Amino acid sequence: MRGLHADTGYLLYRLGLRSGQLFNASLQESGLRLRHYALLRFLTTTPGALQRELSASLGYDPSAIVGLVDDLEKLGLAERRPSPDDRRSRIVVLTEDGRAFLRDTDEAGRRVTDELLGPLDAAERDALHALLQKVTEGGLG
């Protein structure tokens, strides 16, 4: 096992898995998963995104985006509207219920982060966050 723990890629993979498990457990009651949450969070920063933009920005398969948006629409958390630039295209926007859902899940997200990063002090958490941002901005989107 020591060999795997010397591999940064493996450690990141394990951290991602654990983060997803914890976050999905916190969302279980809502019927949503981390992928839905990520799409909703993205819509807070990008009002009115084309589905293909969501796919590229989030790194999800385009067919997965369709299903995720369908789920969010059924729950009234997001909706498709005609694009102001091209009426044949649809943009996805966050609804007021979607904003309320995100506000209601903020505390759950903090608890997940606290559990996941419990061994780190505040400065280490800040450093980890800054490093992860730097890595993701370098090519992960």
On average, the pLDDT of the chain sits at 89
Rounded Cα gap, residues 74 and 68, in angstroms: 10
Contact 59, 68 (CB under 8 A): no
H/E segment holding residue 94: strand 90-94
pLDDT of residue 138: 65
Q: Looking at the whole model, is its pTM more than 0.85?
A: no
We report the CATH number of the domain holding residue 54 as 1.10.10.10
pLDDT digit string, tens, across residues 11-53: 889 999 999 999 999 888 888 999 999 999 999 988 788 888 8
The CA–CA distances, whole Å, from 16 to 35, 50, 65 equal 13, 27, 20
Counted domains in the chain: 1
pLDDT digit string, tens, across residues 79-89: 999 988 888 88
Domain hosting residue 118, numbered range: 2-137
Rounded Cα gap, residues 25 and 124, in angstroms: 25
